[in-house]
């Protein structure tokens, strides 16, 4: 287990924190799931309180809302822009805020696929 998934060992000033107790499992985070463009594949994880979190490992469809407010399920062709990491464009990794190229045009992702298990997007440029 990587140390950076647990509580920080230092204060924001740089001073060392005194340990009050042992590390708790609830303080541990989870690994980032890089959602790629391929046939749909999900990973279900148990979360705090026995709830479930659906992590989208790969997908080829997105729910895109057009200018009129109508939702369509369209095929994702590629990732055009990703502010999270410029290398994600080459690897076609979808994160929140990424601009994806779809059959109907360019759309910006509004959901968190690795956390919510779905790709929702808003159409920003329609192809003629």
Give the span between the Cα atoms of 32 and 62, in whole angstroms.
20
SS (H, E, C) 18-75: CCCCCCCHHHCCCCCCCEEECCCEEEEEECHHHCEEEEEEEECEEEEECCCCCEEEEE
Beta bridge partners of 64: 72, 121
For residue 37, the model assigns a pLDDT of 97
Give the span between the Cα atoms of 19 and 33, in whole angstroms.
31
- Could you tell me the pTM of the whole model? 0.79
- The pair of structure tokens assigned to 63 is 């729910």
35-126 in CATH: which number? 3.10.290.70
For residue 5, the model assigns a pLDDT of 61
Q: To 10 degrees, the CA torsion angle through 111, 116, 118, 120?
A: -20
For residue 1, the model assigns a pLDDT of 41
Mean pLDDT of successive 10-residue stretches along the chain, which has 128 residues? 65 89 79 94 92 95 95 96 95 96 96 95 88
């Amino acid at each position: 287990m990587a140390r950076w998934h647990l509580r920080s060992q230092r204060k924001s000033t740089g001073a060392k924190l005194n340990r009050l107790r042992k590390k708790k499992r609830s303080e541990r985070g989870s690994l980032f799931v890089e959602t790629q463009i391929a046939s749909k594949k999900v990973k279900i994880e148990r979360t705090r309180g026995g709830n479930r979190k659906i992590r989208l490992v790969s997908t080829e469809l997105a729910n895109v809302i057009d200018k009129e407010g109508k939702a369509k399920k369209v095929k994702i062709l590629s990732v055009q822009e990703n502010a999270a990491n410029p290398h994600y464009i080459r690897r076609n990794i979808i994160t929140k805020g990424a601009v994806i190229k779809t059959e109907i045009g360019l759309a910006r992702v509004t959901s968190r696929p690795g956390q919510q298990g779905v790709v929702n997007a808003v159409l920003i440029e329609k192809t003629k």
